[in-house]
Amino acid sequence: MTEDDVKSVLASIKYPGYSRDIVSFGMVRNIELDGSDVTVELNTTSQNREIVEKIKEDCENALSRMPGVGGVDVRITRDSEGDASAAAQDPWSNQKRVPGIKRIFAVASGKGGVGKSTVAANLSCALARQGAKVGLLDCDIYGPSIPLMMGVHEQPVVGENRKIVPLTNYGVKLMSVGFLVDGDSPVIWRGPLIMKIIQQFLMDVDWGELDYLIVDLPPGTGDAQLSLCQTVPLDGGIIVTTPQEASIGVVRKGIGMFNKVNVPVLGIIENMSYFTAPGGERIEIFGYGGGKAEAGRQNIDFLGEIPIYMEIREGGDSGQPVAAADEDSPTARVFREIAERLKKHGVS
């Protein structure tokens, strides 16, 4: 057994969320061999303990399977945050908590058109109705819909502390690229600009004290999702789907994305579950139960089903989310119960 043998095994360990391995990222600083014992020193600037522990565990498991290996000792060292050369080699080196924000939850979907933004807006309003301090960040850079759904079309200002003051409606603090561009002007940005704007929305906005920051992600698993995970440690992901198999299939990709970046999945919400006709007949337009069944297969929580209510669509179009307009209505009750379930599942 040689150092090159050990390094070859370590090169099979992918950095969580990346296709690159820990060797190519420059994390392996030293390898020592003493008979059948192997000691490996890994260097990182990441502040995400779960990411670091996952890498250490993967290394220990891989090295232990090498023929002739007895003991394995994987040691983690950290460079200071100011070490620019180390930061450049660690993709999570800039990840840090946003002061004043207790929990950050990302609302995601594998595909578009499932009502993810509708759920994010109404869930934010439901939490605010229950007395929580809530912020809603629209990270759908190319198709921001939170300004319309929350009924806000102003431009934010910069406060005395040189931070952007978020707009507010229904007791929810809001930030979206839709507040910063003119009307129907398209946003045509490449990945680096998306990462920069998301970092600014997190760190350069005066969010104040929040119990929850709900982040509305764009569909899929692209630049915005990765930028968010690199900037802050997320406390949980919420997956929105519709019942049909076309949506359920890509739900697994969304869950896989969160798993790769070590973000706990809080559960699945099934939107557009069924429609109740005027005569009382229940019509399952898109099938039924796919979200709940997938939650069972994935061994994660099923947070609830949202029927097709005209009031939900009308509220989104008029900028009056049903969860804020009338908390005692059947439509608002659906979102209130989902918010309460989040609390019961260790999110209090």
CA atoms within a 13 Å half-sphere pointing along the CA-CB vector of 53? 4
| pLDDT > 60? residue 348 | no
> Is residue 129 located within the same domain as residue 64?
no
Residue 141 lies in a domain: yes
Give the dihedral sign, CA 186/158/207/197: positive
CATH number of the domain enclosing 65? 3.30.300.130
> Is residue 131 located within the same domain as residue 80?
no
How far apart CA 103 and CA 299 sit, in angstroms, is 23
Q: What is the mean pLDDT of residues 152-173?
A: 90
Please state the length of the chain: 348
Residue 27 burial (10 A CB sphere; 0-12, 13-18, 19+): buried
| Confidence band, pLDDT 50/70/90 cuts, at residue 72 | very high
> Is residue 209 located within the same domain as residue 80?
no
> What does DSSP assign to residue 115?
-
Residue 184 lies in a domain: yes
How far apart CA 334 and CA 336 sit, in angstroms, is 6
Residue 74: φ, ψ to 5°: -105, 120
Provide the number of structural domains found in the chain: 2
Q: What is the mean pLDDT of residues 125-149?
A: 89
Which residues are 14's β-sheet partners? 21
> Is residue 149 located within the same domain as residue 218?
yes
> Is residue 174 located within the same domain as residue 256?
yes
Residue 63 lies in a domain: yes
Residue 94 lies in a domain: no
> Is residue 110 located within the same domain as residue 67?
no
> Is residue 269 located within the same domain as residue 246?
yes
Chain segment 96-106, per-residue pLDDT in tens: 788 899 999 98
The residue written with tokens 């600014």 in the block is 200
Where is the domain boundary, 89, 112, 139? 89
| Confidence band, pLDDT 50/70/90 cuts, at residue 156 | confident
Give 74's contacts (C-beta < 8 A, 6+ positions apart).
Answer: 39, 40, 42, 56, 59, 60, 63
Taking the CA atoms of residue 294, residue 298, residue 303 and residue 307 in that order, the dihedral angle to the nearest 10 degrees is -10
How far apart CA 321 and CA 147 sit, in angstroms, is 12
Where is the domain boundary, 35, 66, 89? 89
| pLDDT > 80? residue 45 | no
The residue written with tokens 């605010």 in the block is 128
Structural domain for 324, as ranges: 101-344
> Is residue 74 located within the same domain as residue 144?
no
- What integer pLDDT is reported at residue 129 of this predicted model? 92
> Is residue 147 located within the same domain as residue 268?
yes
- What integer pLDDT is reported at residue 53 of this predicted model? 87
> Is residue 145 located within the same domain as residue 13?
no
CATH number of the domain enclosing 304? 3.40.50.300
- What integer pLDDT is reported at residue 224 of this predicted model? 66
Contact 265, 258 (CB under 8 A): yes
- What integer pLDDT is reported at residue 83 of this predicted model? 46
Distance (Å) of CA 162 to CA 134, 158, 196, 326:
22, 6, 17, 37
Residue 95 lies in a domain: no
| pLDDT > 70? residue 174 | yes
Chain segment 312-331, per-residue pLDDT in tens: 888 888 889 999 877 678 88
| Confidence band, pLDDT 50/70/90 cuts, at residue 271 | confident
* 157: number of Cβ within 10 Å: 8
> Is residue 182 located within the same domain as residue 305?
yes
Chain segment 11-21, per-residue pLDDT in tens: 998 887 666 78
Chain segment 221-253, per-residue pLDDT in tens: 566 676 677 778 788 889 998 887 777 777 787
Residue 96 lies in a domain: no
Residue 126 lies in a domain: yes
SS3 271: strand
> Is residue 13 located within the same domain as residue 149?
no
